[in-house]
Amino acid sequence: MPIHDADAMSEISFDLRSLAAGYAGGQFTPVMVMAEVLRRIAAAGDDRVWISRRADADILAEAAALGPVRADLPLWGVPFAVKDNIDAQGLATTAGCPDFAYRPDVSAPVVARLVAAGAVLIGKTNLDQFAAGLVGVRSPYGTPRNPFDAARVPGGSSSGSAVAVASGLVSFSLGTDTAGSGRVPAAFNNLVGLKPSRGLFSTQGVVPACRSLDCVSVFALSVEDACGVAEVMAGFDAQDAYSRQSPPGFSPRAVTPRGVFRFGVPRADQLNFFGDGEAAWLFEAAVARAGLLGGSVVEIDFAAFFECASMLYGPFVAERRAGLESFLAAHPDAVHPTTDSVLRQGLAVSGVSIFAAQHRLAAIAQQIRPVWGDIDFLLVPTTGTSWRLDEVAAAPLARNSDLGIYTNFTNLLDLAAIAVPSGFNASGFPAGVTLIGPAWHDGVLAGYAQAMHAAAGLPMGASRHALPEAAGVRGRSVWPRVEIAVFGAHLDGQPLNPALRGLGGVFVRAVRTVAAYRMVVLPGAIERPGVMPSSDGAALYGEVWSLPSAALAAFLATIAPPLGLGTVRLEGGETCLGFICEAVPVAGLADITALGDWRVYRAGGCGGLFDGGRADLTAI
């Protein structure tokens, strides 16, 4: 039923699920939603969220032009905002510096993709100037007001983008993340902050902070929303020198978490909460929550991560300077004083120190790489604490640096991350945790993050709206790991199992097929079973193993004909990749279907018990 009351419109949630349901049910239209957006913005007053906005009439006209509900447009009628270091046609890009402003002819590809998917741009949001900061106070346009505590920082550099979503002004927003700018504001505003694998989203049309490290990020009310937006934005861009092709089978959508998993946390003596006991307790509670979801804690020596984090504002600050050198030379007085002090450090960096830092970074990455074989993800506090505005004013560089100890290393090490809310302290200020993993593990991280966010039982943003139950996550991933059913020599304890483990294979579960397969013995130096579909077959025992997708080709290279990879039907209606025997003459081959289990055949020494390909089970 249509909503006719303005007060009722003011109570609707802008999460994607609620908007889609309201549109489908005819409760409201895009014009009504955009009118409510404009009303909320007006009611918020001077919150310093916006640097520029589209004209109200243009927003309403675009909403009206959307026409009837379009199921083929995943973001149809969804209001969003963009950090003002990302180009949006029709609005100036300032990067938080009025003298830097220019008016782009076209939108950045990430913005264009969102608009093409039906989303409606509201405006450009405030930020730490040139995206240099994690506090959100380094802007000539003022400091966006944190909706939970106006005396505390909103987080940066994507300050306005985070506050806009948390305050219910838009459904989602774009930020950028080089050192944590898409995660720290998420923590301080009770939001999800998605920091993708580098190169997943185009950075064409983005004012660079550190061009080789920059990522466009997403602020959203839920993991499901963040992933839905990411799916629209993802895609290779040949015009972006740092864009990368995602691996075949990759998706940023959440994949179903394994029932039992391992997650890493920094060693207890390495955790730093800057004397904030409540922040420490909230992180302990998040770790316990992950345990209740089936996780086992693995303590990680975090020294290498911390060393890497310290490098970002060491030699790598030269890259920040390089991206703005011509402007800074022509406008030496145009920059915020604290930002200027940071960027000037880049002038003192020598080429020798830059190469030395790159070599050290490569060594750290190599040192850390084995960690990912032991854990499914790394869980860290998004920040060790939060700061009041006066505390940051008293020590702007030190307090900013404190907020980055759990974030600064992520892009340098080419990792993916997603920040989720984890609780509130006694005064009602939010805290969050971040899940981190190797590049292209975005969907895996999202699956665990979604479960953790739901288990926390928190409202969305600064609203009273409960987090909707996720509408089903993908049941089978093909990246970064693929599940394969094995039935013979690769089973646990069998001769070829060490080779499977050596490629990173991990046991997942024991299974049985539907009663539609036959099993014969293929002779050779190592006997193997040939599993073949058959109308008069039986249910066969097998095991599902998870293998790194990157190792799949190496694994297949060891599989000799007539075996090949195909789809196996399992009990319960599930399907899985598995080894199927090509059509071969079975005359003379021992048929062990009736045994139902290769291990039974091997344990019983049944090689001589067959006649004409059929087993004499009475002799076993």
Asked about 10 being catalytic, the answer comes back as no
Asked about 157 being catalytic, the answer comes back as yes
| Position 229 in a domain | yes
How many Å apart are CA 389 and CA 152, to the nearest integer? Answer: 5
| Position 563 in a domain | yes
| pTM of this prediction exceeds 0.85 | yes
**543 shares its domain with 447:** no
How many Å apart are CA 620 and CA 615, to the nearest integer? Answer: 9
Neighbours of 352 (CB within 10 A): 9
User: Which is catalytic among the residues 13, 83, 158, 217?
Assistant: 83
Neighbours of 391 (CB within 10 A): 18
**503 shares its domain with 449:** no
**290 shares its domain with 389:** yes
Q: What is the DSSP letter of 443?
A: H
Contacts of 445 (CB under 8 A, 6+ apart): 377, 416, 417, 418, 435, 436, 437
pLDDT digits (tens, 9 = 90+) for 45-88: 999 999 999 999 999 999 999 999 998 999 999 999 999 999 99
Q: Provide the CATH number for the domain around residue 21.
A: 3.90.1300.10
**271 shares its domain with 407:** yes
pLDDT at 478 over 80: no
> Could you tell me whether strands 517-522 and 192-195 are parallel, antiparallel, or unpaired per DSSP bridges?
unpaired
What pLDDT shows up at residue 455? Answer: 96
Q: How many domains does the chain have?
A: 2
How many Å apart are CA 209 and CA 386, to the nearest integer? Answer: 24
What pLDDT shows up at residue 473? Answer: 53
How many Å apart are CA 402 and CA 395, to the nearest integer? Answer: 11
| Position 316 in a domain | yes
Range from 26-35, 213-222, 336-345 carrying the lowest mean pLDDT: 336-345
Identity at 391, one-letter amino acid code: E
Residue 463 CB-half CA count within 13 A? 24
Nearest to 159 by CA among 227, 141, 202: 141
Q: Provide the CATH number for the domain around residue 548.
A: 3.10.490.10
What pLDDT shows up at residue 587? Answer: 73
Final residue of a structural domain among 391, 423, 456 = 456
Nearest to 75 by CA among 223, 195, 227: 227
**331 shares its domain with 372:** yes
What pLDDT shows up at residue 260? Answer: 86
Identity at 353, one-letter amino acid code: S
**521 shares its domain with 566:** yes
| Position 552 in a domain | yes
| Position 462 in a domain | no
Nearest to 584 by CA among 548, 617, 613: 613
User: Which is catalytic among the residues 181, 243, 246, 477?
Assistant: 181
**187 shares its domain with 68:** yes
CB 614, CB 520: distance < 8 Å: no
What pLDDT shows up at residue 472? Answer: 59
pLDDT digits (tens, 9 = 90+) for 349-363: 889 999 999 999 999
Final residue of a structural domain among 456, 472, 506 = 456
Nearest to 59 by CA among 89, 90, 27, 35: 35
| Position 471 in a domain | no
Domain limits at 296? 6-456
- Give the model's confidence band at 162: pLDDT under 50 very low, under 70 low, under 90 confident, else very high: very high
**203 shares its domain with 284:** yes
What pLDDT shows up at residue 476? Answer: 52
**444 shares its domain with 582:** no
**357 shares its domain with 489:** no
**192 shares its domain with 271:** yes
| Position 473 in a domain | no
pLDDT at 617 over 60: no
User: Which is catalytic among the residues 157, 159, 243, 422?
Assistant: 157
Final residue of a structural domain among 421, 456, 491 = 456
Asked about 158 being catalytic, the answer comes back as no
Average pLDDT over residues 580-584: 78
pLDDT digits (tens, 9 = 90+) for 282-298: 999 999 999 999 999 99
How many Å apart are CA 407 and CA 266, to the nearest integer? Answer: 13
Q: Could you tell me the CA-to-CA distances from 485 to 421, 569, 577 in Å, in that order?
A: 37, 10, 6
Identity at 143, one-letter amino acid code: T
pLDDT at 220 over 90: yes
State the chain's mean pLDDT as an integer: 92
| Position 250 in a domain | yes
CB 209, CB 178: distance < 8 Å: yes
Average pLDDT over residues 487-509: 90
Percent of the chain surpassing pLDDT 90:
74
pLDDT at 101 over 60: yes
Contacts of 204 (CB under 8 A, 6+ apart): 108, 109, 237, 239, 240, 243
**451 shares its domain with 376:** yes
Q: Could you tell me the CA-to-CA distances from 212 to 87, 369, 411, 414 in Å, in that order?
A: 18, 21, 9, 10
Percent of the chain surpassing pLDDT 70:
95
